[in-house]
Structure 1
Amino acid sequence: MPADDRSEPLLPLSGLRIQARIVWALLLREVITRFGRRNIGFLWLFVEPALFVIVITAIWTATHDLHRSQIPIAAFTLTGYTSMLMWRNTPSRCIGALSSNQALLYHRRVTMLDIYLARILLEFAGVTTSFMVLGLVMWLGGWLEPPENVLQVIGGWGLLAWFGMALALTLGPLSERYPSVQKLWSPVAILLFILSGTSFLLDTFPPTVRYWLLWLPMTSGLEYLREGFFGSHFKAHYDLGYMCSATMLLMLFGLSQVRRVALNEVRIA
């Protein structure tokens, strides 16, 4: 952990460097705490989501003839379930994070936001690596065609990561104020999984149903991502303006809650 210098004021750039080092140290600590040093250790960070996607892909591939669809099954499951893991797992890791790491806040330079950012970046790195490695392996194995628009895939992935981050920064501090958030998130996450488009395409529904499903920001991000992957096989439906606006509002609300809980911690201390 970086040295705690209380005597000299920090310039903005040097302060940013220190905070980056703090987040990196917290990230490494989280890896060791969660995965330990035995067996494959931190590789579980990538293997765990990869195994989940492989099992789902195998099931969908085995039933492909029953569906009689022209949609590439490997690309469909890879894009859907990895993106779902990102916006579902990231908030789960931030819920209750302060309670289990409260002792770290005795270090002057460590803040609540650092703790949340370390966990968010760790989840993002794990799921993104699984997404890239699985995509490469499936392509080399002949199960997957290259993305039709790589830049659009990167953009869609970034939008989904941003939404997952905003959701995590909202639910993390709210769980400290309202313990019931931790219990409610699991059933809510299941409901969002069902409605988010992970296992279906919006084009298969009538316009009225699509209208309501697009109120979920992650649905637009996933449709945009899939259009970049195999857009010639289906018609995508998304509203990126709404997704960005909703994610920005959620992000601002989440940061306000982080600040509110942090101020309460200072008063208690």
Structure 2
Amino acid sequence: MSQISFPTSTRRRDDRPDTPRLREIHKQRSFASLRSIGALILREMSTTYGRSAAGYFWAVAEPVGGIILLTAIFSLGFRSPPIGTNFAIFYATGVVPFLAYNSISNKLAASIRYSKQLLAYPAVTFVDALIGRVAVNGVTQILVAYLVFTGIVLTQETRTDPQILGIALSFVMMLVLAIGVGTMNCFLFTAFPSWQVVWSIISRPLFLASCIFFVFDDVPEPYRSYLWFNPLIHIIGQMRRSFFPSYVGDYVSAIYVFAVGLGLFVVALALLQRYHRDLLNS
């Protein structure tokens, strides 16, 4: 009677996945990415703000001074704001998140062109460049907002009740939208240089169409329904109802802002992942 032999696995012991080795490789790659991000952050600060602390001081003082100057000028013509009794805090709650969004999204849009030489190295990715610019400019804009709001509240009678969690939510909404728009424009500006001119023309009316000088509730129909689709309306509305207890702002939709910002970011990330090498070589 012949003996039946069952097939045995021909896989050798050496072919098995080396889990500790894979973990070590992943850890090394993560550390390399962190070093790249750190180097990009230092490069961003040294080239933009200079190598001294005074450079960063002026980088913060310039937007703070500009906002305070604009607030003082407009306060002379608008003594009775639509909400509250102090025009300075009403205007600041609109212009601060708007300028923060504008600054971060514009910085992100130039990430690839700004770090093009460094991105030629395999250890540096376009994601590192994006994270580095978001980190530096995000912290700067938060500091600017803190100085502006604190200065107005401490020096003037605003009759406001700032809610920290509501203010934080407004900044998170602003950051998500700025990252989404900035990352998408990072691809479009590099792939289609003429889009930068088109975007500059399109985005110019946003300063007036984002309810900085008025409130969304005062806009008549049907323009109010159209204006609702501007995500900045929701960010500024969230900021204002975090300062003014009497302002309901029931039109504010954080979900809508997150959907727009994250949707643009995911699409832009896919496009950059597919074409970033072609963009660097162009």
SS state of the match for residue 65, structure 1? coil
| Change over 3 Å in CA distance of 1:66–1:31 after alignment to 2 | same
Question: Structure 1 residue 41: deviation in Å?
Answer: 0.8
Alignment match, 2:172: 158
CA distance 1:134–1:255, shift in 2 (3 Å) = same
Is residue 184 of structure 2 the alignment partner of residue 182 of structure 1?
A: no
AA partner of residue 191 (structure 2): R
Q: How does 1:82-93 map to 2 (within 5 A)?
A: 82-93=96-107
Task: Report the alpha carbon displacement of residue 13 of structure 1 after superposing the two structures with TM.
Answer: 5.2
When structure 1 is superposed on structure 2, of 41-50 and 57-66 the one drifting more is 57-66
2:239 maps to which residue? 225
Answer whether contact 2:238 2:249 (CA < 8 A) is retained: no
- Give the corresponding residue for 1:126: 140
Match among 41, 49, 65 for residue 27 of structure 1: 41
Per the alignment, residue 259 of structure 1 pairs with 273
CA shift for structure 1 position 178 = 0.4
SS in 2 for 1:134: helix
Q: Displacement of 1:130 after TM fit?
A: 0.7
Partners in 1 of 2:221 and 2:251 — Cα distance?
Answer: 10
Deviation larger for 131-140 or 159-168: 131-140
Summarize the Cα distance change of 1:145–1:13 in structure 2 as closer, same or farther, 3 Å threshold. farther
**1:222 aligned partner, one-letter code:** I
Using the TM superposition, name which of 54-63 and 93-102 deviates more: 93-102
Give CA deviations for 1:72-96 in whole Å, capped at 9, x if unaligned: 3222222211111122122222334
2:94 and 2:239 in contact (8 A); partners too:
no
Report the counterpart of residue 111 of structure 1 in structure 2: 125
Tell me the TM-score normalised to structure 1 length.
0.86
1:167 equivalenced with 2:203 (yes/no):
no
Mean CA deviation greater in 15-24 or 191-200: 15-24
Alignment partner, residue 256 of structure 2: 242
The alignment covers a number of residue pairs equal to 262
Out of 87, 90, 94, the position equivalent to 1:80 is 94
Larger Rg belongs to: 2
The answer on whether the counterparts of 1:203 and 1:234 sit within 8 Å (CA) in structure 2 is no
Could you say if the C-alpha distance between residues 72 and 16 of structure 1 is closer, same or farther in structure 2, counting changes exceeding 3 Å? farther
Aligned residue in 1 for 2:209:
195
* Structure 1 consecutive aligned stretches of length 4 or more whose deviation exceeds 4 Å: 7-14, 66-69, 233-236
Q: Distance in 2 between matches of 1:185 and 1:148?
A: 34
Q: Is the 8 A contact 1:74 1:143 kept in 2?
A: no
CA offsets per residue over residues 10-40 of structure 1, 9 Å max, x none? 5545544442332222112111112224793
Q: Measure how far apart 1:226 and its partner are.
A: 1.0
Q: Which amino acid in the other structure matches residue 139 of structure 1?
A: V
CA RMSD of aligned residues (A): 2.7
SS at match of 1:108: coil
Q: Offset at 1:199? A: 2.4
- Bigger drift between 181-190 and 247-256 goes to 181-190
Matches of 2:157 and 2:184, distance apart in 1 = 38
Cα deviations across residues 226-267 of structure 1 (Å, max 9, x unaligned)? Answer: 11111414645222222222222111112112212324358x
Q: Is the 8 A contact 1:169 1:254 kept in 2?
A: yes
1:122-173 per-position Cα deviation (integer Å, ceiling 9, x unaligned):
2211111010122122222134455442211111111111111111111012
Deviation (angstroms), 1:207: 4.1
Alignment of 1:96-107 (within 5 A): 96-107=110-121
Q: CA contact under 8 A between 2:80 and 2:87: conserved in structure 1?
A: no
> Judging changes above 3 Å, is the alpha-carbon distance between structure 1 residues 39 and 115 closer, same or farther for their aligned structure 2 residues?
closer
Residues 133-144 of structure 1: pairs in structure 2 closer than 5 A: 133-144=147-158
**Rounded Cα–Cα distance in structure 2 between residues aligned with 1:133 and 1:185:** 30
Does the C-alpha gap of structure 1 residues 28 and 143 become closer, same or farther in structure 2, counting only changes over 3 Å? farther
Question: What is residue 64 of structure 1 aligned with on the other side?
Answer: 78
Q: Distance in 2 between matches of 1:12 and 1:198?
A: 47
Q: Quick check: 1:55 aligned with 2:69?
A: yes
Task: Show CA shifts across 1:201-227 (max 9, x none).
Answer: 101112422211111112112111211
1:96·1:182 contact (CA, 8 Å) conserved in 2? no
